[in-house]
Chains A and B, each alone.
Chain A
Amino acid sequence: MGADTDHRHRRRRLALPNVDGMHATTSSPAVEADGLHKRYRSKVAVEEVGLSVAAGEIFGILGRNGAGKTTTVELIAGLRRPDRGTVRVLGLDPRRDRARLRQVLGVQLQEAVLHSALTVTELVHLYGTFYRDPLPSDDLIESVGLTASRRTRFEKLSGGQQQRLSIALALVGRPRVVILDELTTGLDPEARRRMWSTLERLRESGVTILLVSHTMEEVERLCDRVALLDEGRVVALDSPSGLVRRAGFAQRVTFRAITPVPGGLLEGLDGVDRVHADGDRVVVEGRGELLQAVSVALVRAGVAAAETRSEQAGLDDAFLALTGHRLDNTKLDAEFDTAPDTKGETIR
């Protein structure tokens, strides 16, 4: 646990104090889901999902396609009715107290579609009129970097621009809780970083954010805590660094052995947990000063090694350790073409 962990701790700020006095009861969770269960015909989408998001937190929901992430947030947003279980957002039932909750909950849906013939300005203004105290349209458009395209119709915007508009509409009503489903999908790296800064500023103002993602980098950078979803269940719920600890190792050293490594040489070293060899490619997982320990041992044994790399364990390693499969086996860019498994269902 070196500089990497410190880096994470710096980000693990918990709920901010009530700067604006908006949150009457900071101690009660902003979002609470308990025993959520949802089935679509024969397929169970989520099973016994429970989570609790503290006010002012950025809470990540991470998982592969079809893991139940979208269904979970749709249940929390009140778009679907759970077969079992309860949801409270700011103490309100998202379906029964719909009218009250909608004022303070901002939602960005995956693949959101808007009136195609309306311009950016018109849509931001229109959605603003639904709320008590909307953000000024021009400022909001500026903050998502759409000022130059403000007179462009929705249908003429690029995918990334549509995405940014969709996020702007989730924020226009000054929500206290924001649900963002696949926030940065379709955004170029610069727009992505910009969006992350926007979220960090939001958190500083005390907004609670529920972030659905399948990008490790995003979750590691932004989230205070993460629920890891797999096959409709929460398999782990922890801070990003806490999850990384569950990877079972802290560091990994890989190298190419030019001359053979004597059997048992690395396994016996201090701090080494596992050694895999695949041809001349050797992977050593362990803790502490692993790179140094391995290098010294190789030199002493007279083994020539090349392409030596050392990396810290990351969330993807944790994901693999916890679920048995990799998170990022789908390309990010393919996401827009991948329909959610629940598409076309008409559920009241």
Chain B
Amino acid sequence: MTDITVHRPGPRAWAALLICELKMVTRDTAGLIVPIGLPMLILVMNASSAGRETIAHGRTAFDVYVLPLVFTMVVATTGIVNMPSFLAYYRRSGILRRLGVTPASPALVLVAQAAAGVLQMALGIAAAWILALLAFGAHPPVRVGAALGVLALTVAAMYALGLTVAALSPTPNSSVAIGLVVFFVLGATGGMFGGRGNLPEVIATIGQWLPFGAGSQALSAAWIGAPIEASNLIGLAAAIVLGGVVAAVFFRWE
């Protein structure tokens, strides 16, 4: 029976699955509250904490510290907490198991899932940015390209971590709990609670290599027009590579 050849699902399958994921998102309107509403909520909650005095290049503390933190938090919650919980639902319900007996590859399923998530996240960040512009007088980053690049890297790093959480969790429900713990640990070391300056030096140093601290620090730098620290970029890249490999190796259909 050597006439059986490998046929990997092609672009049609990727497109079909992505369209299906997006259709499901639009049919479950309650599910849109988190990606669209959460960024604006986090923005409003943090807006008051920063002063409006200019730091450099006409950017205020709000622009340089609050906005990067808000965007990093949004990316982290969606990537590390939301995405594993969706995958957990897929796994628990048996949808993944069913896909596991088709030629669909884990990559196909994960990428479609991630792409749908990223699109929602982009929508949420755009909504928060418009709100920041209109209600809080925000200024765009000095280095727009660098900021967008860092944001993309951070998204990838957080998703890679989320996939790792989903792949390593023993049960579907535990993945949500583990995701939350990872989120808070990363957030705490990355300055989510009251700024990096208040952290013990060791933790602050570790934090700047981990995706949360690395992402928000690099984004701050891009905003104010400063060079981005190599440690931030290396940290983000390492998270992407390690997370991607672990997720691919330990992926389970059920």
Contacts and interface: CB of A to CB of B under 8 A. Distances in A.
B37 to A, nearest CB: 20
B98 A109 contact: yes
Contacts of A346: 170-171, 252, 254
A161 to B, nearest CB: 16
B94 A112 contact: yes
18 contacts: A24-B2, A90-B1, A91-B1, A91-B2, A99-B105, A102-B102, A109-B97, A112-B94, A113-B95, A117-B28, A125-B16, A126-B17, A129-B17, A130-B13, A130-B104, A131-B9, A131-B103, A132-B7
Interface of A: 24-25, 28, 77-79, 90-92, 99-105, 107, 109, 111-118, 122, 125-127, 129-132, 153, 169, 173, 346-348
Given A102-B102, A118-B23, A122-B20, A90 B4 contact: yes
Contacts of B20: 115, 118, 122, 126
Given A103-B103, A109-B98, A130-B103, 12 more contacts: A78-B101, A79-B100, A99-B105, A105-B101, A112-B98, A117-B28, A122-B20, A126-B20, A129-B13, A129-B17, A131-B7, A169-B98
B24 A114 contact: no
Interface in B130-179: 170-171
B32 to A, nearest CB: 13
Interface in B81-121: 93-95, 97-98, 100-105
Contacts of B184: none
Contacts of A104: 4
A163 B17 CA distance: 22
Nearest to A348: B252
B198 interface: no
A71 to B, nearest CB: 13
Contact of A24 (B3, B24, B100, B252): B3
A151 to B, nearest CB: 13
Contacts of A122: 20, 23
Contacts of B202: none
Where chain B touches its partner, the secondary structure class is loop
Contacts of B2: 24, 91
A101 to B, nearest CB: 7
Closest 4 CB pairs of A and B: A113-B94, A107-B101, A91-B1, A129-B13
Interface centre among B102, B104, B254 (most CB of A within 10 A): B102
Contacts of B94: 109, 111-113
B23 A79 contact: no
A172 to B, nearest CB: 9
Interface residues of B, number: 34
Nearest to B7: A132
A124 to B, nearest CB: 11
Contacts, number: 93
Given A100-B5, A348-B252, A79 B101 contact: yes
A118 B90 CA distance: 14
A112 B95 CA distance: 8
A114 B95 CA distance: 5
B57 interface: no
B248 to A, nearest CB: 13
Nearest to B101: A107
A129 B23 contact: no
A117 B26 CA distance: 10
A245 B94 CA distance: 41
A92 B93 CA distance: 29
A343 B101 CA distance: 17
A114 B253 CA distance: 14
Nearest to A22: B3
A109 B94 CA distance: 10
A340 to B, nearest CB: 11
Given A25-B1, A102-B102, A114-B95, A129 B16 contact: yes
A79 B253 contact: yes
Contact of B23 (A113, A117, A169, A173): A117
Nearest to B26: A117
A104 B252 CA distance: 22
Interface centre among B2, B3, B100, B103 (most CB of A within 10 A): B103
B26 to A, nearest CB: 9
A99 B103 contact: yes
B6 interface: yes
